[in-house]
Amino acid sequence: MTDISAFPITQKWPAQHPERLQLYSLPTPNGVKVSILLEEMGMAYEPHLVSFEKNDQTSPAFLSLNPNNKIPAILDPHGPGGKPLALFESGAILVYLAEKTGKFIPHDAAQRYECLQWLMFQMGGIGPMFGQVGFFHKFAGKDFEDKRPRDRYLAESKRLLTVLDQHLQGRNWMMGEDYTIADIAIFPWVRNLVGFYGAGELVGFAEFANVQRVLAAFVERPAVVRGLAIPARG
């Protein structure tokens, strides 16, 4: 059995099943990308809650795995060459797991890169922009008298939703008929924008019929339902 006890993070979050992939996360849009993919794959893994209320993300143990102090992060005891692999950044983790298992990523080279482009579309656009809208609409930013910063992010979020809606015309998923890591990356953020952030009316979500349709299909998937609640909050 591969020994992961040398990794300092296992001292703060002891592994009950060290032979399984260890997930350090929180059920946020970025965090659930990985738990949803793991649930879709049926892969054995052990989730650990990284509590922001306790500042777990800035603890020396967590920083030893992810110096950028963000969730999610994983420790795979069966990484490349049979050696443990520590990995952070949700997009990198999705690509790693998809390539490791050969699931939820196209095998055709051209389609694979198309899938990755939409993954990067989420990482570089949807995630940061929707997150800023959430800050200005739901959190401290709502008290700012100057609405120009909010409106800048709002306009960009609407533009991104337009791109997404046009692309999904006539498609079941981002890659057409096949459900991939591109969908798993994008739709937790769409769900969060209109759900947790409560910004559906603000961004005119009712105008984006294709995005609504695919989001509804996404949240009905049993693995998505499970993954959205992992790790369970204490």
Tens of pLDDT, residue by residue over 98-113, are 999 999 999 999 999 9
pLDDT digits (tens, 9 = 90+) for 45-76: 999 999 999 999 999 999 999 999 999 999 99
Q: Is domain 9-103 in CATH 3.40.30.10, yes or no? A: yes
Mean pLDDT of the chain: 96
Mind listing the pLDDT tens digit for each residue in 76-93? 999 999 999 999 999 999
CATH architecture of 109-221: Up-down Bundle (1.20)
pLDDT of residue 105: 98
Confidence (pLDDT) at 178: 98
Provide the percentage of residues in the chain whose pLDDT is more than 70.
Answer: 99
Please write the tens of the pLDDT for every residue from 6-35: 999 999 999 999 999 999 999 999 999 999
List the domain boundaries for the chain. Answer: 9-103, 109-221
Question: pLDDT tens, 126-147?
Answer: 999 999 999 999 988 878 888 8
SS (H, E, C) the chain: CCCCCCCCHHHHCCCCCCCCEEEEECCCHHHHHHHHHHHHHCCCEEEEECCCCCCHHHCHHHHCCCCCCCCCEEEECCCHHHCCEEEECHHHHHHHHHHHHCCCCCCCHHHHHHHHHHHHHHHHHHHHHHHHHHHHHHCHHHHCCCCHHHHHHHHHHHHHHHHHHHHHCCCCECEECECCHHHHHHHHHHHHHHCCCCCHHHHCHHHCHHHHHHHHHHHCCHHHHHHCCCCCCC
